[in-house]
Amino acid sequence: MGRVPLDPMPDWVPARRREIGARIRTARLHANLTQVQLGERIGRDHRTVHRWEYAERIPTLEDLLLLAHVLGVDLADLVR
């Protein structure tokens, strides 16, 4: 059975997406990387990185694992 989308989405979901995006951005800046450089290192377009940082899109678990590795942070620190 497929999952049923929540409609409307609970308010805390977009808020958490923004928090995760902000953590990605903070970690990227701490690593002294541009969005272009980070995208190149994880095999994603810089526009995708931008969309994650500004909560326009949500990274997959695979993307989060790559981000954590390249940024030198624990996965939990990105999604906490």
CB 72 within 8 A of CB 31: yes
Write down the pTM of the prediction.
0.87
Domains and CATH numbers, the chain: 12-79 (1.10.260.40)
For residue 17, what pLDDT is reported? Answer: 94
3-27 mean pLDDT: 88
For residue 3, what pLDDT is reported? Answer: 66
3-state class percentages of the chain: helix first, strand second, coil last, to nearest 5: 65, 0, 35
